[in-house]
Chain A
Amino acid sequence: MKENLSLSVATVCYHCGDDLPTAPYVADDKHFCCLGCKGVYQILSSHNLSSYYVFNTVPGASQKKAPQHFDYLDEPAITADLIDYADDKTTVITLFVPSVHCSSCIWLLEHLHKINPDISQSRIDFPKKQVSITFRNQLISLRQVVELLTAVGYEPLISLQDVVKKQQSDHSERNLVSKIAVAGFCVGNVMMLSFPEYFGFSDFEEHYRDFFNWINLALSIPVLLYSSRDYFISAWINLKNGILNLDFPLALGIAVMFVRSAAEIITKTGSGFIDTLCSLVFFLLIGKWMQQRTYRYLSFERDYRSYFPVAVTVIKDGKDQPVPLNELKTGDRILIRSNEIIPADAILLKGEAKLDFSFVTGESIAVDKVLGEMVYAGGRQICGAIELEVVKPVSQSYLTKLWNNETFEGHKNPIKTFSDTASKYFSIILLFIAITAGVFWVSSDLNKAVAAFTAVLIIACPCALALSSPFTLAAVLSIFDKNKFYLKNTAVIEELARINTIVFDKTGTITNPSSNGFQFTGSLTELEKQLVSDLARNSGHPLSRELVKWLDKTPLYPVDRYREQVGRGISGKVNGHELKLGSAAFLGITAQEKGSVVHIMVDSMYCGYFLSEQRWRPGFKQLALTLARKQDLHLLSGDLDHERNLLAPFFKGSQQLHFKQSPQNKLDYIRHLQNNGSKVMMFGDGLNDAGALRKSDLGIAVTDNINNFSPGCDAILDGAAFEKIPQFISLAKDAVKVIHMSFVISVSYNAVGLFFAVQGLLSPLMAAILMPVSTATIILFTSITARLYAHKNKLL
């Protein structure tokens, strides 16, 4: 019977694929889970855009969220920062649309002009989830454009920080690619012209030699002045600060190569090392590009500004008026609508406040506030509009003043990498050998002295060395990426290998925010459980949804006379039984409340209650045991300590468990650990961990949806990969080993070259062969061993 039912009727929403409620919304024989999804379908079908549903099944995002208000987009002062370009006819704006996820999204968002012809063009950048829209500003306002996007289910996320960031990012990469292109062009042509030299000219071809050499010299000038410019600048800056980094021997090698080649060509004594010079720069730049390449368009630099809205509605003289956030003053009366975020500490003046602080703490169960109570910034209002009076400006609020802390000023200390350390000694030894070789020959043969001195600097130019780190780390980065562990840059891998102390936040980090367990006290038959599930399915309250998921029943009975009192409980008639679910007060019984409880009443008979308890992320127990063998584990939680006993077995001693920690406490605790010489890795998820994430040597944000906002950090870990943390650490350690091994390989190549160079016997041909061969060896070795180690750690 049940089978037949589910076969004949669609069970998921045609638009978003969510489970259908017992009374779905219907349009054109299609079933929808909510009015929002149905609305999107109707807009699309009325504009002949139904192909949206053809390219992919259930392409839409759930529309169950409450609508946002965009009246602030009518204020030119606020939107000026958002707009890319505007004249008196057209406006171009780039918006971040988090719900972009499939080809249907691309298709629909690039056909917006069919819905409203005043939008002249819309282009999607899929990896960045950005849509760039050009519209006629005389005929359609920015607000209408954004509302149109929202109406078709692609609500853009507008926040101040991401807007600011967007402008700068691309150009450094484009610049590097241009440099690679120039170097590639030159190296190709130089190689072509150098080949005759390698094979030797016959007598009657001799007169070409000079011609080829001169062209080579000409081609090397753009490589020297443009492509390799950064190496000279970096070497010079570091030298001024008394640091010998790897760029110094590189810049020195390039310069010496050019000078000696130019001298040989001008004096017609040889052909120089132009080929080696060009290919060296070319390979180096490719290594740099590998290192800079980011695999994901994630933002690691977020602070509270990306969570907070761009503007907030202020009530002034009885009128609503959108005001930019930074102009919000103490004493302003603000209106927060449903689903909006409270941007500053304020006192509740009017309305029923039910706030979701999951951005801040990771805790998803909403908190009630009464009139006159202080409300901290960062909470999201869930039901109805409320009015508040601002008591502190945005930047001085309890949460946001964390960013005034000195930890957030200036840059985090750069991570010390192996190649930085190695290059210091490398440079000194290199200079020493070069000078010794020069001095040794100077008494007998001045020409040979110069030749030996320059040859040492040329052959020892640490190309392979400079490439070993980027190629190893880039390979590991992409392996991490495949395992849903997204790093900010490659240096993070080396830091990960050094970690000896791990600090966890509790809620949302080691607990799983989306899967609560329930403990039932009382008695309930299977049939009654079915009834509870069918009733709870109609509610959007997080606890109801968890309960439905936990009971795991297929929908069976329709519900009559469904009623919901927001935040208190639901009631209805299911299969002839009168059901009530909710708080004790809602059911009219007296029971002591402890934690999140759902009481059940069937036909006025009290049956018992479900107690919600948080579950650890899958594998947490095993993870804690594995990690504790090598690292020191700590816990910092903002919650009360009622779970202390549950957690104590995972940690060494109870003094490593800390509860009731404010954001500032967390930051201070990390600092305390660091002062004791620990290398600290912090796992956190909410804004309240932002200080600790920033302060720690390695801050990792744990999130279940990487497109959600996560606080500023060094790496973002998808919750699904949480249990792989020990493997990640182990692979990071292996990566450092690979770097060490490739260092040894490149040094042995250098030693072979140096053997000839110190004797003044280095021929250009030998340099031209040795350089690419050593480079190729390193690239192959690092990529292959990195993958082998990934297999060993079961990450591939």
Chain B
Amino acid sequence: MAAFRAELQKAHRRHDLALCLFIPGIVVLWVGGLAPADPEELANGYSALLYSLPVIEAILMPVMMAVLASRLWDMEIKGNTAKLLYTLQSRRSLFAGKAVFGVLEVLLVTVLELACVPVLGRVHGYTEAFPTGQLCYLFVCTLAVDTMLFFGEFLLMLWVGNPLPALCVGIVGALVGLFSAFMPPLASYFVPFGYYIPLSAYEVANWDQATHTVTYGTRPFNWGLLAFTLALGAVLFALAWRKVQDEEV
């Protein structure tokens, strides 16, 4: 608890909350800017929104997670305080404080982002029934992938001790993740940065080329990939913890 409180104090003037608010802001800008007016589009509104969100996440979240993870550890690098912390407090409490703080930030980003769905639905007047189950599934999937990427980037920060590689991996990951969405489905399973898209419960059911109308449909939840994502996140978490344990003073 004391370690977590220390992280809160360190974050006092870091303005992480403002950073977390950027994501829902972009979602509103991105999806909200494409306000449907056609009755047919309004009847398909939530489906279109829940189809678009994973694509937006695949572009933004790898970079966002790299930003959050790098800021959490970069302050110890810049202040050269890691050695001090390793000797003043238990490594378990240091790592636990950072991990809990980071996961709470990820949770905040995810909650704020998905809170935009009902808000946008109400503002635009979607006539489609609210897909509670699909939204809950999307929330779990987004949180799982975000957390996995967060610990991956955090591990990279611990390994390299410089935010540049973590950010570069985040940017390249976003690009590869986005591209994997347009590759054959099997290819997307090899790109964890883009797992948002194969985990999505929505797909394009029909695209009318003449009228440029898209109809979305649902597909079965991808529990297998979700379980793999959670397992990968757990492995990255364990590796990061091992790295903190093994770090020489």
Q: Do A and B bind each other?
A: no
